[in-house]
Amino acid sequence: MRPGNTRAIEEMFNSISSRYDFLNDIFSFGLHRFWKRKLLEVLNPTFGEKWIDICCGTGDMSILLARYMKSAKNITGLDSASQALLVARERSKKKYSSIEWINGDALQTNLASNEFDGLLMSYGLRNLSSSYEGLREALRILKPGGRAGILDFRSFEGGSIQGLFQKIYLSLYVVPIASLFGLGQEYSYIKKSLVNFPSGEKQIHLALSAGFKKAEYQILAMGQMGILLLEA
């Protein structure tokens, strides 16, 4: 599958939605939960603020946000994959039924401008057909002074030990295990999606070019993950 093919990516996430959370725990040894909590700790969303989780998938980030804020009100999760949203709705219906789940496009959300105090995106930016347009839309729906945090794999340019480790990890650990569940082809996409994904420095440049006032990049997981922190 070619990165940037919006329809194919949507179909892929629909096909893996029932196994997505289970496999995330295996592939990250459960550490993805720590990285997501770190993102929330840095952004510090507070009760009463209005937040959106773009590319929310099966809803784990949105639910974690609700736990952090001690309220599911004023939280929206948006994703283009309808089957993933079904999983999200099922997971949230008991304790977090106030979360609003929207089937929509991250590049054209059709939401009002200046609506949200904060925005989250975990492992979604590199799946968009345009990182720049995704950042532009994020800026549009944020209130002036609003903050955003984007968590994803790091992209490495040139040769580096960290980049080599990432390739080995994806090729010899992630794909073989996913193959045991009949999802090897789907998870081989991760490596492809990182080929043209902007590095941390380039993400900062894109965000500032998109109109954000402030942008910084923090490294996590011994250099394998990164968080792009933004202020509208």
Q: What are phi and psi of 223, to 5 degrees?
A: 90, 0
pLDDT the model gives residue 170: 92
Q: 0.75 exceeded by the pTM?
A: yes
In a domain, 1, yes or no: no
Outline where the chain has alpha helix (H).
Answer: 6-16, 20-28, 31-43, 60-69, 82-92, 131-141, 161-169, 175-180, 184-187, 189-193, 200-210
Tell me the CATH number at 177: 3.40.50.150
Residues 144 and 174: beta-carbon distance below 8 Å: no
In a domain, 32, yes or no: yes
pLDDT the model gives residue 11: 79
pLDDT the model gives residue 7: 76
Q: Which domain holds residue 26?
A: 6-231
3-state secondary structure of 45: coil
What is the radius of gyration, based on Cα positions, of the chain?
Answer: 17
In a domain, 88, yes or no: yes
Strand order in the sheet with 75-79: 100-103, 75-79, 51-54, 116-122, 142-153, 225-231, 214-220
In a domain, 171, yes or no: yes
Rounded to whole angstroms, the Cα distance separating 54 from 76 reads 8
In a domain, 206, yes or no: yes
pLDDT the model gives residue 66: 97
DSSP-assigned states of every residue in 127-152 = GSS-HHHHHHHHHHHEEEEEEEEEEE
Q: Express each pLDDT in 205-231 by its tens digit.
A: 999 999 999 999 999 988 899 999 999
Number of domains making up the chain:
1
pLDDT the model gives residue 1: 45
pLDDT the model gives residue 161: 86
DSSP-assigned states of every residue in 102-128 = EE-BTTB--PPTT-EEEEEEES-GGGS
Segments of the chain with pLDDT less than 50: 1
